[in-house]
Structure 1
């Protein structure tokens, strides 16, 4: 058995469950009476506990078990969620994440979590909750009268009664597992397997499906038909590991009827008790009456749906996808070349075959591209919890609004962008958003808002972090930069506001007056800039004092294949990503106007700048200023537009994106190069560089 394979699966699935737990805990915090969410949280914790126990990570399984005990009281309406319970559960999740990270780094996932465990056990005992609801609830028996916990229908009763008449033994069996049992469903399965070798199980409580999925407390009961003696069956069941107690009662006609009558009476009593509770809820369940009904309604469909559908996904090493992408890139170059040769040969059969190959390879191309693309949601989903904790530690009120989480990025970029975004968000929460008193004094809502958004623009993805806080005060930045020796007074005086803003990215720079857990050590934004630059992107700051700040991160998609418009500039060829193009057209020389020294043209009831590519790239054999009519390509960056003056259009094509390598300096306005079907090289333009 390859344990490394199972360890990788455990780590991946544990991270998924921990993320789900964090998200649902945040959702529950906003609506503490929603028992439906509690059920989801409980199932995630239960699954995580089982996985950890199976892999032998006892500390992790033990802590999750303690969390389960608290959640079990909540879902059964014996405990009402409060702030201190949320804080304890969040601390538990942090400890679990630390343990999983220790396992990732080759450790055994061990940690001293005794203070957290003590807090969880105190909650279960009802301490610190402000009432005795928890302790009173936990003191109740976990199953309604042990000897009458199973209701039988007429058919089941008839089967048992007939079996007694025919000389078979009918046993009522109740099994209680040890409190520290980690794999309840497995132990129950072992009991069922043992019993089915010696007879027939007629009815269980809870249902078999719930028991197999671990959806029961520490005990279950059943009716059993066999030829074996009660004492023999009791001994065999007790030989199974982690069994606490076993009660086996042999029934005759009279005792069976008594149990059925007692069970019916108990069921009726439970119904009356529930109706009374709904009419006058206990303090622990106050306000949960309507919710409990809704939760019950929501749970019913889940039970009829059976076991969860098996996973239909597989995990693939990213290096394999890199190889696949490179091979397909070469195939695309050959395809374009074949199309050109077939066109020149004028052979219909060859042309038809090449066209069919093009269609098939286009479908294959779409699949290959999507394989590497991952929604930025995989990075964004950890930020709500982080902002919640930061706001609480700083005594601020903050709403995090996320948009564009479905925007997709290449997996290699996704893996690297998380840390820079963490630093930018922490900066907005700590330095951007003001304390509640300051916001009220400034006439702002007491709750600050941080927007985290992502969107595509051309061959790039933009991720923006914008807050409605105090904004960047130039004087504070300059003063701190001079004090720390980042710039001299003369240099600072000559800086524009944009240049002053860039000082935030200087190594060792910080405007915090004192060092805290959040900021003040001068480490953060310099790491952001270096990491983003290493990814081939850049970060820009827009700020208005008193109104807020916007950090705009531009990242390349790093796709190997893009759809582009091929254009000609004299003897040179260029490619413009189709995703940046709004439309194409022709302008006459007389339509170009000069406004404040900038050449502009009218476009859809507004004026946009027209940019001369021939001058920017110093094209020797074309100059649009000598032409009476000039073809243009209107490009977009966000909500800003511009027009590029070109020589001629070649047509649309799918091209292979190749970077310029480390030996060529970064060229303004060029994001890479491609090889055309005729073997020529064309530069790929970066439209975002032309719009400031």
Structure 2
């Protein structure tokens, strides 16, 4: 089997299982007695172990196996979950994530996890801090009383083959093989046993089924019926020579003993079936929890009206990017055709182009939706992070997530994770007070951090709000003065909102010393730079003693946007509609100069007016010479400015194209687009005009 063919699938599914393990472990930590959660965790760990073993990642499979041993004790109610066990299992998950990341980067997924393995093994032995001797005894008993596979149930044909073989002088052996507890590649060891046996005989029936054994889906033991001419003791010795084999039991059967074994296995199967069908009795191997899960599954299938699973496929990101690029070219051609049809005045051509426009609009919606990803893909890693931060800071914190189903363009999703990490760490460390301070202030000892996402117009807002101490204006101003970020005159005239924005100044921090979880301001300049580069904005609202709210505004998509096309002499530009507040005409007599800056009246206030012809050095237009000038009022958060332009062309959907690596960074330009007439129009970045 070509493992490289399945590597991508292994990585994707491993990440899914690790995320599920983290989420369910957090849920179990809140409800440590809920065995149904333990069952889910155990199954995820078991599947991950089987996948890793199949792919040959032995360290990963071995560590997951050690986790399984602990979870098995818990689900069988022989071990109670405690803080030490949770911490050890979370460390194990961190190690597994590191191994998977190593595999992603081309490594073999190896890591030194000896200390974690030792801790897990100590838990299995009952050596948990604070564990009772009863727990330890139960753990030891389970290790000693390993379950034995039930007898193999044969059909009439299989029984006839075995019985006839005995009559013809062949040996019929019943072989039971137990692997060592630390066996890392169960499927591989079972395969070696099968290969050895098949060289000298025929395997008639196995338990579990061959498919399950090949995939590692069995405990440490498997059994089989085997027809051969070889000596039983000789075969037993050869099997024991295979690595990681613990014990081998070989029974040489005659007609009577074969008949007795078949009767016994049939009776066992019938008993289990009757107990399973009984509403009042559950078989020992079928726990109450499993019954609830099975009932839930049946109810779910009944409610949906079908047992058919959701039909989804994994699509490589590069294919989606290629699809978007191809559609972008189609959109450019569509605009060109619309213009040609208008010029040609041909009704049939116009009708055809209009139909094509409607179809391509539907296609555009589908393509954009394909690129939309729920922010849950970013949010789902934060509960674990907040949990670890709270423990390290000795705080009690509830992270409340709402709107995780809100969708964003994949390009934005890929970039927004790190900025949100910075903001959350800031809220947990400096927003939420220590327990004693909260109690002294009359608050609950448990701080609350709300992480919410929601749509508003063509934007998505992500807010991080805490009920902590809030931002103290005086602390910010004092730190800013000490670092020379502002002058005393500037500081005195600053509003609270402007003071809060100082947190985003490069190198600004209120921390007395830099630590792993640093002071307000550490890393926030990077946060703002990243969000602004995505066409977004971040604002802060804070009330001392009540809490702080970081609000991040992001565009829905970065690929195709609605824009206002404008004209500057012979050149054309595009301004994103999301940044436009309104348009209008201003007379030259209304322009005032204040401290060297041109200002115009706007809604009982004055805002700066910027000459685009001067900024971009347009050779055949200068708004300063015009008696009347058309303007576009743009906004960035609460700040407004006006751009002086030549004329409006109209609103259109445009495809954003990168300027490439060969052009230098152009101030005020975020990209380019191709218009219907084939001309290239620069896309104006309104954020660049706010200082």
With normalisation by structure 2, the TM-score equals: 0.75
CA pair 401-309 structure 1, distance change in 2 beyond 3 A: closer
The Cα offsets for residues 85-128 of structure 1, whole Å up to 9 and x where unpaired, read as: 11110011122333444455565544433222211110010112
Query: Is the Cα contact below 8 Å between 2:49 and 2:64 reproduced in 1?
Result: yes
Query: Is the Cα contact below 8 Å between 1:612 and 1:624 reproduced in 2?
Result: no
- Counterpart of 1:628? none
Query: Is the Cα contact below 8 Å between 1:564 and 1:654 reproduced in 2?
Result: yes
Residue 251 of structure 1: which of 247, 250, 253 is its match?
253
Inter-partner Cα distance in structure 2 for 1:256 and 1:293: 35
Equivalent residues in 2 for 1:356-367, closer than 5 Å: 356-367=355-366
- Counterpart of 2:186? 184
- Counterpart of 1:424? 423
The CA deviation at 1:382 is 0.8
Please state if 1:95 is matched with 2:95: yes
CA pair 657-98 structure 1, distance change in 2 beyond 3 A: closer
- Counterpart of 1:494? 493
Inter-partner Cα distance in structure 2 for 1:330 and 1:674: 11
Partner of 2:400, secondary structure, is strand
- Counterpart of 2:641? none
The CA deviation at 1:417 is 2.0
The Cα offsets for residues 309-349 of structure 1, whole Å up to 9 and x where unpaired, read as: 998324243xx655553443233122122123224434454
CA pair 621-246 structure 1, distance change in 2 beyond 3 A: farther
Equivalent residues in 2 for 1:407-446, closer than 5 Å: 407-446=406-445
Partner of 2:548, secondary structure, is strand
Query: Is the Cα contact below 8 Å between 2:668 and 2:686 reproduced in 1?
Result: no
The CA deviation at 1:491 is 3.7
User: Which stretch shows the higher mean deviation, 419-428 or 62-71?
Assistant: 62-71
Residue 294 of structure 1: which of 274, 288, 292 is its match?
292
Query: Is the Cα contact below 8 Å between 2:374 and 2:405 reproduced in 1?
Result: yes
Query: Is the Cα contact below 8 Å between 2:448 and 2:467 reproduced in 1?
Result: yes
Inter-partner Cα distance in structure 2 for 1:394 and 1:342: 67
Query: Is the Cα contact below 8 Å between 1:164 and 1:253 reproduced in 2?
Result: no
- Counterpart of 1:69? 69
The CA deviation at 1:540 is 1.3
Partner of 2:545, secondary structure, is coil
Inter-partner Cα distance in structure 2 for 1:38 and 1:172: 35
The CA deviation at 1:545 is 1.6
The CA deviation at 1:194 is 6.3
- Counterpart of 2:619? none
Inter-partner Cα distance in structure 1 for 2:57 and 2:666: 51
- Counterpart of 2:593? none
CA pair 523-5 structure 1, distance change in 2 beyond 3 A: farther
Inter-partner Cα distance in structure 1 for 2:3 and 2:191: 24
- Counterpart of 1:81? 81
Partner of 1:40, secondary structure, is helix
Query: Is the Cα contact below 8 Å between 1:20 and 1:44 reproduced in 2?
Result: yes
CA pair 325-267 structure 1, distance change in 2 beyond 3 A: closer
Equivalent residues in 2 for 1:38-437, closer than 5 Å: 38-53=38-53, 57-104=57-104, 109-128=109-128, 129-140=131-142, 146=148, 149-150=150-151, 152=153, 155=156, 159=160, 162-163=163-164, 166-167=167-168, 169-189=171-191, 191=193, 198-199=201-202, 201-202=204-205, 204-206=206-208, 210-224=212-226, 230-231=232-233, 234=236, 237-238=239-240, 242-259=244-261, 291=289, 293-295=291-293, 312-317=313-318, 321-322=320-321, 324-437=323-436
Inter-partner Cα distance in structure 2 for 1:111 and 1:386: 22
Partner of 1:559, secondary structure, is coil
The CA deviation at 1:498 is 1.7
Partner of 1:175, secondary structure, is strand
CA pair 486-636 structure 1, distance change in 2 beyond 3 A: closer
CA pair 76-164 structure 1, distance change in 2 beyond 3 A: farther
Query: Is the Cα contact below 8 Å between 2:124 and 2:139 reproduced in 1?
Result: no
Inter-partner Cα distance in structure 1 for 2:514 and 2:609: 50
CA pair 121-575 structure 1, distance change in 2 beyond 3 A: same
Query: Is the Cα contact below 8 Å between 1:543 and 1:549 reproduced in 2?
Result: yes
The CA deviation at 1:398 is 1.6
Please state if 1:537 is matched with 2:540: no
The CA deviation at 1:429 is 0.6
With normalisation by structure 1, the TM-score equals: 0.75
Partner of 1:509, secondary structure, is coil
Inter-partner Cα distance in structure 1 for 2:466 and 2:492: 27
The CA deviation at 1:374 is 3.0
The Cα offsets for residues 565-613 of structure 1, whole Å up to 9 and x where unpaired, read as: 889999999988788999x9xxxxxxxxxxxx9759xxxxxxxx9x999
User: Which stretch shows the higher mean deviation, 480-489 or 421-430?
Assistant: 480-489
Query: Is the Cα contact below 8 Å between 1:163 and 1:169 reproduced in 2?
Result: no
Inter-partner Cα distance in structure 2 for 1:350 and 1:307: 46
Aligned residues: 646
Partner of 2:509, secondary structure, is coil
CA pair 378-395 structure 1, distance change in 2 beyond 3 A: same
Equivalent residues in 2 for 1:414-563, closer than 5 Å: 414-513=413-512, 515-520=514-519, 523-563=522-562
Inter-partner Cα distance in structure 2 for 1:484 and 1:649: 46
The Cα offsets for residues 158-217 of structure 1, whole Å up to 9 and x where unpaired, read as: 647854775465432211123332222344355456667843534x44455654443322
CA pair 270-99 structure 1, distance change in 2 beyond 3 A: same
Inter-partner Cα distance in structure 2 for 1:194 and 1:300: 43
Partner of 2:549, secondary structure, is strand
- Counterpart of 1:606? none
Query: Is the Cα contact below 8 Å between 1:34 and 1:291 reproduced in 2?
Result: no
The CA deviation at 1:546 is 1.9
Inter-partner Cα distance in structure 2 for 1:559 and 1:664: 19
Note the residue ranges of structure 1 that are not aligned, 5 or more in a row: 280-287, 585-596, 601-608, 626-631, 640-645
Inter-partner Cα distance in structure 1 for 2:51 and 2:559: 39
Query: Is the Cα contact below 8 Å between 1:457 and 1:580 reproduced in 2?
Result: no
Query: Is the Cα contact below 8 Å between 2:667 and 2:688 reproduced in 1?
Result: no
